[in-house]
Amino acid sequence: TRKKKINSNFKLNIRYEDDDLMIISKDSGILVHAGARTDSETLVDLISFSRPEVLNVGESSRPGIVHRLDKGTSGLMIIAKKNEILNDLKKQFKARKVLKEYLAIVNGITKDNGIIDAPIGRHPVDRLKRALISSGKKAYTTYEKIENNEDLSFLKVKIQTGRTHQIRVHLSSIGHPVYGDKMYSKEYKDSKKRILLHSYRLRFLHPNKKINIDIKDSIPKEFSMHFSTNKINI
């Protein structure tokens, strides 16, 4: 079995829970599930410790996991507590029926809004990265600027597809990489800061209750270091 370091700084931040599923707010800096070389604590570790019944749902390496966020990205994720719920939610994501809204702070002054419709695939040289590549999978991102200051823009970002690193690759491709994203920004490397990308809102049909669940998260404190987020109506 995998040796893992327990980092008590990470918590299972539950925003909604019923018998079928829970919605958690993932901390920045924790992996969702282990890869081949992972020895640090993951979100799956936190879930299995706190909700052991989820261990029987879906694949053993990623129990209950409907969709993923990058290690540095924070915010809302749905965890299924039953196999039929997991399958239903995965179908909703695949059919692009789930509203996924993110908040991002990016370098530079963007346009007021924009659409980025460009396929994403694995980077031809660096296997850890993704890139705009004609043979890649379709990826569709829209953004709307909430506010900007001298050198940063605060964006609301929606994605229809869910490609790995999609928002980061797309925003970097238009010259506005996410603040703190060392992988997709040569110019703005800042090792002390987290990446300022947050899964802020999810709306989906509850598989059992057949009602729309529409949930917004709080805005991370790191965002308010750059913008007075309490005044912003999002």
Residues 45, 4: contact at Cβ < 8 Å? Answer: yes
Active site residue 70: yes
Selecting among 20, 27, 39, 70, the annotated active-site residue is 70
Closest to 154 (Cα-Cα) out of 187, 179, 184 = 179
Q: Which residues of 90-99 are buried (b: 16+ CB within 10 A; e: fewer)?
A: eebbeeeebe
The rounded radius of gyration (Å) of the Cα atoms in the chain is 18
Q: Is 125 helix (H, G, I), strand (E, B) or coil?
A: coil
Q: Report the C-alpha gap between 214 and 156 in whole angstroms.
A: 16
Strand 197-205 relative to strand 74-80: parallel, antiparallel, unpaired?
parallel
Q: Is 166 helix (H, G, I), strand (E, B) or coil?
A: helix
Question: Active-site positions?
Answer: 70
